[in-house]
Structure formats: C-alpha cells, structure tokens
C-alpha cells in the first residue's frame, strides 16, 4: 500500500448565512476521504474555512445590523460548530479575514502584476451578488435573473484591474490534455475543457465600489475581487498554518458543481501566472436537492442537518448522504428515504447482524472468538476483494461506490448466517468445528466491514469493533482481513448500534 501525502480542501464557505445540509455534505464527504487516507497511512492535511469578504457578506451584515467583521465572526463560528457536529477532522480552518492570508494574497497579486498579467480597464456587466460573479446576457433567465439563484442581477459598471485570463487558453488546454483526470468526474472535465475551448474573457479582479476586502497593493482605493481572494486560501494556508508548507500542491479540491469554472479555469490560470505549482486534482459533486431544487442560503430552500443528527445520531447522517446521493450526481434529501435506509440497512442488515453474532459467540463459545478452521477460503477472498475494491473506489474519489462495495460484504454475511444457521449447529455435538467456523467467519467478516466503513461512520464502527473485541484506536486498512490471529479475542455484548426510531 502506498504511503504518501494527501492534502485535501473543501470550498471555504460564505458567511452570509448559517450552514445547511449542502455544506455539511461537502465537508462530510471530504472528511470521509481524508479518514480513508489516514487509514492507508498517508500524511493528511485537511483544510476548510470561511470566505468572509465582498459585497455579499457586507450586505448580509448590514441586513443583520452588524459590522461585516462582527457578522463574519458570528457566522464563521457557526461553520466551525458545524464541523464539530458533523465530526470533521480538519487540520486547519482558514478565515480570509486573517491578516496573514490578506498579506499573502497581496504578495501573490503583486507577483502577477509584475509579470504583466494585470492591466487597468473599464467594465460593465450584469452582476449577481449572491454568486459574486458577472453573467453574460445570454446566461440570464427571465431576462434579468441569475441562473443559479433566480434573483435579479444588477448592472455594475466600473474601472477595475483585469487579469489576462484570455492569454492562458493554450496553457490551460495543454494542462487538460496532459492530465485527463485533472477534473473528476469526466463529464465535468469535458464541461470545463469546453469553457476554455470556447475562449475566455479577461477577468475583472478588483472592485472600486466596495471596501470590505483585501486592498489592491498598488491601488488601495480598490479591493481584490472576492473570488480571487478566496481561491488563494488553499495556497496561503500552507504558507502560514504551522508545519503546512510542505503540503502544497493540493492533492484534491472538493466542491459542488456551482463553482466549477472558478476552480477549473480561473484558479489554474492564476497559479500559472504566479509561477506556483498547480493542484493535482479537482472533484466535483452534485447538489443535494430538497423537493427537487438546490438548497441555497440565498433562496432559503434548505434542510437543517441538526434535527436529523438529534434524532438518528451523526453517523447515520454521514452514511445516508454517502449512499443516497451518488457522489458526482444530484440527489434528493428526504426524511422518508433517510428513515428507510436507517431501518433497513443500518438497523437490520448491519446492527442486527452484529448483535446476533456477538450474542451467539457469548452463548455458544463463552464470549471468545473461536478458531478459524480454514473452511471459508471463498469468504477470505471476498473480503480481500472488498478491501481492494474500496481502495479503488476511493482512488477514483467515489465514496458512494466504496460504501456499495462494503454493503456487498454485509449482505454476504447476512446470507452466511441464514445458510449455516449456527443455532442448529449448536444443537449438534458433532458440528463443533462447523460452528467455530461460522462464528469466526461472521465475527471476522464484520470486523472487516467495520474497519472499511469506519471513515463513513467512525463512532458506530468503533463501537462495533469494541463489541467484536478489536483493540481500541483508529483502525488501519491492513486490519480489514480475515486474519486467523483474530481468534481468541473476547467479544463484549453491546446495546443495538442503531436502535429503532419510532415515528414522531
Ligand atoms: O461558493 N448541495 O461558498 P458557498 C451540495 N465562498 N453542495 C452544496 C449545496 C447543495 N445544495 N449548497 C452548498 C462559495 N453546497 C464560495 C467558495 S472556494 C475558494 C469559495 C456546497 O457558501 C458545495 O460544496 O456558496 C458548494 O460548492 C459550496 O457549498 C458553496 O458554498
């Protein structure tokens, strides 16, 4: 197994409103990816944070009767709280109002300016403040509405500093040609490549009419366009977070499809200009929908994750999001499908099987995992294959497929218990070795399941491993095997992992 470095980022979220399931989704998927990499022995750096400058934040602060700084402090804290509630094991939380970030953004922009890639020009266009971006007339819906938020755009005209994005077309195309996996999934790679092929307009990278931002170093009357300020967070964090310098370039930027262009086109061009090494890969996921529509802080169509955590616990939410919403595609969050997966998959297929196994080992073998008589070679191969398939799914940045692979094993173990009926073997004195074997196979198979599933449900899988007599501590991938040395472990009966939830 390769041991390497793994630097993963989430988008830095706008502090215009409180987090919802959409943000929790990106952060949870990212957390699952980094936990898996830690299991493989990789040296992980997991970066997240908040995007705190720009007109969008200034206006929401005003509406809340606060200064932008007070507003950013209050809402950035809410995002940190979300991280804690969803179990995100980030290594550093960056805020773009951090003076160290501001200084680094100014330095790097000066480099781009010195290279001759920035010039002064005037610009007029339709601006959506919720997106913090200009739209071409043809992209608007209902004549003057933003295609993402459906809110009215504004005509903004000013003299700004421009980045020569158009000059990077060929270099960007070369990047895409050399690295066919630069953007995942391939449909998003194609979409980004098409944007570049069609030709790129230069990008206005400063604003004169707002003051809440990073001052342009050579023209402090203007502030840096919030997206440029924000994109650089991935790099600036490695400049000032303690011990983080060696992690650049990022291995994986994770994000939703709404911000593809910024990351797949503008970001690499800015880095090329600044002479900074490019990130290795971007992975783009779909939207978590509510009632068929994208959740959005701006439109208020949201699902609050916290009540689901209160009712079912955190790990079921992490599991549900991974399994129900195919990574890379849009998917609908609904209370009904949540409840159905909780009861049929978690409570019945996984939780019940664990309880039955532990109880049978208690009843028939005094709580000690019996020896492996080597009669289940097929299952040994299946567990090895499941582990390899999970690794391959994570290499392809597909946590949904990883869980699907694990679930094949869960169902296999459920069939095993029905086919071999240990309760019948227990009545037959001549079947002692057969009973040993099925109990060993069930316990060792479940142990492998809990190890593989641990990045998705760290709390519940740790409980399962404790019940199975596995030593405490974060499990490593190498422990997902049918190791005969596991025999002799002492199981510990536990309450149901996923208690039934009565409808309220
Ligand atoms: O765009 N489904 O911040 P943001 C899935 N500050 N993911 C969702 C989602 C949904 N319904 N809603 C939000 C910004 N997300 C910028 C980013 S990065 C340099 C700057 C997730 O608060 C998804 O990851 O609008 C999406 O890309 C991100 O939140 C947008 O968060």
Q: What is the mean pLDDT of residues 129-133?
A: 90
Q: Is 370 in the pocket of ligand 1 (CB under 6 A)?
A: no
Using CA atoms, how far residue 221 sits from 51, 96, 203, 247, in Å, is 21, 19, 19, 35
- Which ligand 1 atom lies nearest to the CA of residue 256? 27
Q: Is 11 in the pocket of ligand 1 (CB under 6 A)?
A: yes
Residue 242's nearest CA partner among 91, 19, 131 is 91
Give phi and psi for 128, each to the nearest 5.
Answer: -105, 115
Give 356-365 pLDDT, tens digit per residue: 999 999 999 9
Q: How far is the CA of 122 from the centre of ligand 1 (A)?
A: 29
Give 446-466 pLDDT, tens digit per residue: 999 999 999 999 999 999 999
Q: Is 279 in the pocket of ligand 1 (CB under 6 A)?
A: no
Q: How many CB atoms lie within 10 A of CB 57?
A: 28
Q: How far is the CA of 11 from the centre of ligand 1 (A)?
A: 7
Q: How many CB atoms lie within 10 A of CB 427?
A: 9
Most ligand 1 atoms within 8 A of CB, residue of 10, 17, 21, 26 to mutate: 26
pTM recorded for the entire structure: 0.95
Q: How far is the CA of 105 from the centre of ligand 1 (A)?
A: 21
Burial of 14 (0-12, 13-18, 19+ CB in 10 A): buried
Q: How far is the CA of 382 from the centre of ligand 1 (A)?
A: 38
Using CA atoms, how far residue 98 sits from 7, 81, 234, in Å, is 21, 19, 13
Cα 403 to the center of its chain, rounded Å: 14
Q: How far is the CA of 26 from the centre of ligand 1 (A)?
A: 8
Task: Judge contact between 495 and 313, C-beta under 8 A.
Answer: no
Q: Is 15 in the pocket of ligand 1 (CB under 6 A)?
A: no
Residues forming the active site: 20, 23, 128, 131, 146, 149, 294, 297
pLDDT at 503: 58
Which residue lies with its CA nearest to atom 31 of ligand 1?
13
Q: What is the mean pLDDT of residues 279-294?
A: 92
Cα atoms found within 13 Å of the Cα of residue 255, Cβ hemisphere only: 21
Question: Given a cut of 70, is residue 60 above it in pLDDT?
Answer: yes
Q: Is 26 in the pocket of ligand 1 (CB under 6 A)?
A: yes
Q: What is the mean pLDDT of residues 386-402?
A: 98
- Which ligand 1 atom lies nearest to the CA of residue 289? 11
3-state secondary structure 423-440: HHHCCCHHHHHHHHHHHH
Which residue lies with its CA nearest to atom 29 of ligand 1?
23
Q: What is the mean pLDDT of residues 190-196?
A: 98
pLDDT at 291: 83
DSSP category for residue 259: G
Question: Given a cut of 80, is residue 499 above it in pLDDT?
Answer: yes
């Amino acid at each position: 197994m390769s041991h390497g470095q793994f630097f993963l980022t989430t988008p830095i979220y706008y502090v215009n409103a409180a987090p919802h399931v959409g943000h929790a989704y990106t952060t949870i998927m990212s957390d699952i990816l980094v936990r898996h990499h830690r299991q493989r022995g990789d040296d992980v750096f997991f970066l997240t944070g908040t995007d705190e400058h720009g007109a969008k934040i200034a206006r929401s602060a005003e509406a809340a009767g606060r200064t932008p700084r007070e507003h950013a402090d209050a809402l950035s804290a809410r995002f940190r709280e979300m991280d804690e509630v969803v179990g995100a094991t980030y290594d550093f939380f960056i805020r773009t109002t951090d003076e160290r970030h501001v200084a680094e953004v100014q330095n790097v922009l000066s480099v781009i300016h010195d290279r001759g890639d920035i010039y002064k020009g005037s610009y007029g266009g339709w601006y959506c403040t919720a997106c913090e971006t200009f739209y071409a007339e043809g992209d608007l819906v209902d004549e003057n509405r933003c295609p993402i938020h459906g809110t009215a755009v504004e005509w903004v005209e000013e003299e700004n500093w421009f980045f020569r994005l158009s000059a990077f077309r060929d270099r960007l195309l070369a990047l895409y040609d050399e690295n066919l996996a630069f953007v995942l999934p391939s449909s998003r790679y194609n979409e980004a490549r098409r944007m570049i092929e069609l030709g790129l307009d230069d990008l206005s990278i400063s604003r004169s009419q707002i003051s809440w931002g990073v001052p342009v170093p050579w023209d402090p009357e203007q502030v840096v366009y919030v997206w440029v300020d924000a994109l650089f967070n991935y790099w600036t964090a490695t400049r000032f977070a303690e011990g983080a310098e060696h992690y650049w370039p990022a291995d994986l930027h994770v994000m939703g499809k709404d911000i593809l262009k910024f990351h797949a086109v503008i970001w690499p061009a800015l880095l090329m200009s600044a002479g900074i090494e490019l990130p290795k890969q971007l992975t783009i996921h779909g939207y978590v929908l509510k009632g068929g529509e994208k959740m959005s802080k701006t439109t208020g169509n949201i699902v609050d994750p916290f009540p689901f955590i209160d009712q079912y616990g955190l790990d079921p939410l992490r599991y549900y999001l991974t399994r129900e919403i195919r990574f890379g595609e849009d998917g609908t969050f609904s209370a009904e499908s949540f409840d159905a997966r909780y009861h049929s998959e978690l409570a019945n297929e996984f939780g019940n099987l664990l309880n039955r196994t532990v109880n049978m080992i208690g009843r028939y073998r005094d709580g000690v995992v019996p020896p492996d008589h080597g009669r289940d070679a097929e299952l040994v191969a299946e567990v090895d294959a499941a582990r390899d398939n999970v690794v391959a799914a994570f290499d392809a940045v597909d946590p949904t497929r990883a869980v699907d692979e694990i679930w094949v094993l869960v169902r296999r173990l459920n069939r095993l218990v029905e086919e071999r009926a240990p309760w019948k073997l227990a009545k037959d004195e001549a079947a002692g070795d057969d009973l040993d074997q099925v109990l060993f196979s069930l316990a060792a198979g479940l142990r492998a399941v809990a190890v593989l599933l641990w990045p998705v449900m760290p709390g519940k899988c740790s409980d399962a491993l404790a019940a199975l007599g596995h030593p405490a501590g974060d499990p490593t991938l190498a422990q997902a095997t049918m190791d005969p040395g596991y025999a002799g472990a002492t199981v510990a009966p536990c309450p149901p992992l996923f208690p039934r939830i009565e409808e309220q």
